[in-house]
């Protein structure tokens, strides 16, 4: 088999592998801007835990990694996510 033919046969397999490995993590596909909200909160690396999931409303707790370790609560309603404010952030 020629090298060109071998490359033509492996290309679809490589594409399929990239699609599978590049698939979004649980929570990201159905919750639109969840990752953007977490990035805005200063939480680029995190571990996500589902707190509540019912009737199109999902709440997550993100355990952020980094120099400023913090927890961020995010609620998503039908793909639109918002960050819950902590008491320190509440205006008086």
Q: Domain extents for the chain?
A: 26-85
- Residue pair 1/8 in contact by the 8 Å Cβ criterion: no
Give Rg (Cα) of the chain.
19
- The residue whose two tokens read 């033919």 is 5
Query: pLDDT digits over 26-67, tens only?
Result: 445 456 799 999 999 999 899 999 999 999 999 999 999 987
| Full-model pTM | 0.60
Taking the C-alpha atoms of residue 25 and residue 11, their distance in angstroms, rounded to an integer, is: 25
Taking the C-alpha atoms of residue 74 and residue 82, their distance in angstroms, rounded to an integer, is: 6
- Please indicate whether residue 1 or residue 13 has the higher confidence score (pLDDT): 1
Report pLDDT for 12.
55
- Residue pair 59/74 in contact by the 8 Å Cβ criterion: yes
The values of phi and psi at residue 37, to 5°, are -65, -40
Report pLDDT for 47.
94
């Amino acid at each position: 088999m020629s090298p060109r033919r071998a490359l033509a046969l492996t290309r679809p397999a490589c594409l399929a592998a990239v699609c599978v490995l590049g698939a979004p993590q649980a929570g990201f596909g159905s919750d639109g801007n969840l990752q953007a909200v977490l990035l805005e909160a200063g939480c680029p690396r995190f571990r996500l835990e589902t707190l509540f999931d019912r009737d199109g409303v999902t709440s997550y707790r993100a355990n952020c990694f980094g120099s400023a370790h913090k927890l961020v609560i995010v609620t998503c309603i039908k793909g639109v996510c918002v960050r819950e404010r902590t008491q320190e952030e509440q205006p008086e």
